[in-house]
């Protein structure tokens, strides 16, 4: 009988270990860290969406030009693209959560089955022997020490029995909560799937609307001429922007003598590195514009690259501007000192802000097709005193 007592205690101990192991599996750091990372990415994307929606709203309050309309359509697409990305991340997050809950439910069910088996054996023992068997065990002890040991073991059994019952009740409660949580997550997954489908349909509609408008611009002479005029004006606008920003920065440096020494610029005659690897699809100089199909000056080079490819700073310097510019889409302008600046346009995302110091090769954004772009590529310019120069003469 004493052997039976020890067996019951050992079995209960094993079940306690199993219970603890099951709990740690559900709180696996790898899963928690992944979900936390995805939630952080969602917050960043949602913030970008809010910024884009604000720009779209501001555009609607201004006088509508052809390029403004194109940019507005492009911004709407950008918002939807990012909303789709957020929904995809949420879909992935909910799926991971459901998988974790499902694993926890299975683990709890398995542990409950094991506990039930041991408790059933204990109930059989209690039914067979009851308190008489325990009393007889104490009387059968040949020494006082043996009687104390038997009493200790019997007390351990009582405590383990109660611990297993408490653990079983707790396990049942956890199982019920996990099952309810999984049901809620599955409802959320279904709703998210519907929203994702709706967003993708909206995106297709926006692409169609954008293509229809561009086709109309190409066909209707007055719209076409207006678009070309606005595009030429946007080229002058970026020149004025660069000159104004560099002037403002110089004035700030004159007031703050410590400011000019905070950045390491290119030495005179220094060369720039390639901002992204890829084939040059359009060179510097006169060309037929791919969207409006008219001959006009191309103030930089176009480097073909996949959407989302990291764009690197061509040299060290300070970010003069990071934002949206008509015709150029999302753009970054970097001052390299000695009146030399570089321009990175049609970006899908920005990784730096105005006033940031950047190192050569640092990621400043991602390749995209914002603004008046026909496909994913980087439009790269080099400017001296605001005037566009052939970038090939500066790249190594």
Segment among 57-61, 109-113, 251-255 with least mean pLDDT: 57-61
Check residues 276 and 100 and name the one with the higher pLDDT: 276
Map out the domains of the chain as residue ranges: 2-217, 223-393
The answer to whether residues 371 and 74 touch, using CB atoms and an 8 Å cutoff, is: yes
Q: What is the pLDDT of residue 379?
A: 95
Place of tokens 């089955």: 113
Q: How far apart are CA 237 and CA 378, in angstroms?
A: 19
116-127 pLDDT, tens digit per residue, is: 777 777 666 665
Rounded to 10 degrees, what is the CA torsion of 303, 304, 307, 313? -20
User: What is the DSSP track for 189-210?
Assistant: HHHHHHHHHHHHHHHHHHHHHH
The answer to whether residues 380 and 305 touch, using CB atoms and an 8 Å cutoff, is: no
* Percent of the chain predicted with pLDDT > 70: 62
143-201 pLDDT, tens digit per residue, is: 666 656 655 665 666 677 677 777 777 777 777 787 787 788 888 888 888 888 888 88
Average pLDDT, the chain: 74
Average pLDDT value for residue range 61-79? 66
| pLDDT above 70 (res 141) | no
298-328 pLDDT, tens digit per residue, is: 889 999 999 889 999 999 999 999 888 877 8
Tell me which architecture the domain covering 223-393 has in CATH.
Answer: Distorted Sandwich (2.70)
């Amino acid at each position: 009988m004493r052997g039976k007592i020890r067996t019951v205690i050992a079995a209960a101990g094993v079940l306690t270990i199993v219970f603890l192991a099951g709990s740690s599996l559900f709180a696996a750091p790898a899963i928690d860290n992944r979900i936390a990372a995805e939630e952080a990415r969602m917050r960043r994307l949602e913030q970008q969406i809010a910024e884009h929606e604000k720009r779209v709203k501001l555009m609607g309050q201004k006088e509508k030009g052809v390029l403004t309309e194109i940019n507005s359509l492009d911004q709407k697409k950008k918002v939807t693209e990012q909303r789709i990305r957020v929904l995809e991340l949420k879909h992935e997050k909910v799926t991971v959560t459901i998988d974790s809950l499902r694993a926890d439910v299975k683990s709890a069910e398995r542990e409950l089955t094991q506990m039930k088996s041991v408790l059933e054996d204990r109930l059989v023992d209690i039914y067979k022997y009851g308190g008489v068997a325990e009393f007889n065990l104490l009387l059968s002890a040949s020494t006082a020490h043996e009687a104390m040991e038997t009493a200790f073991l019997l007390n351990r059994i009582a405590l383990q029995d109660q611990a297993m019952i408490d653990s079983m009740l707790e396990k049942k409660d956890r199982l019920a909560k996990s099952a309810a949580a999984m049901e809620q997550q599955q409802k959320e997954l279904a709703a998210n799937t519907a929203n994702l489908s709706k967003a993708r349909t909206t995106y297709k509609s926006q692409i169609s609307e954008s293509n229809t408008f561009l086709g109309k611009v190409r066909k209707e002479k007055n719209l076409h001429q207006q678009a070309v005029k606005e595009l030429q004006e946007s080229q002058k606008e970026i020149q004025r922007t660069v000159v104004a920003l560099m002037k403002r920065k110089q004035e700030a440096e004159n007031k703050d003598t410590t400011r000019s020494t905070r950045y390491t610029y290119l030495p005179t005659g220094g060369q720039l590195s390639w901002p992204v690897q890829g084939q040059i699809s359009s060179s510097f100089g006169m060309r037929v514009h791919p969207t409006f199909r008219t001959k006009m000056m191309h103030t930089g080079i176009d480097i073909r690259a996949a959407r989302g490819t990291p764009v690197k700073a061509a040299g060290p310097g300070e970010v003069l501007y990071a934002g949206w510019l008509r015709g150029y889409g999302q753009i970054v302008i970097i001052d390299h000192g000695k009146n030399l600046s570089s321009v990175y346009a049609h970006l899908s995302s920005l990784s730096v802000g105005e006033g940031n110091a950047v190192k050569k090769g640092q990621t400043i954004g991602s390749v995209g097709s914002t603004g008046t772009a026909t496909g994913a590529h980087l439009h790269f310019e080099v400017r001296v005193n605001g005037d566009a120069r052939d970038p090939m003469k500066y790249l190594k």
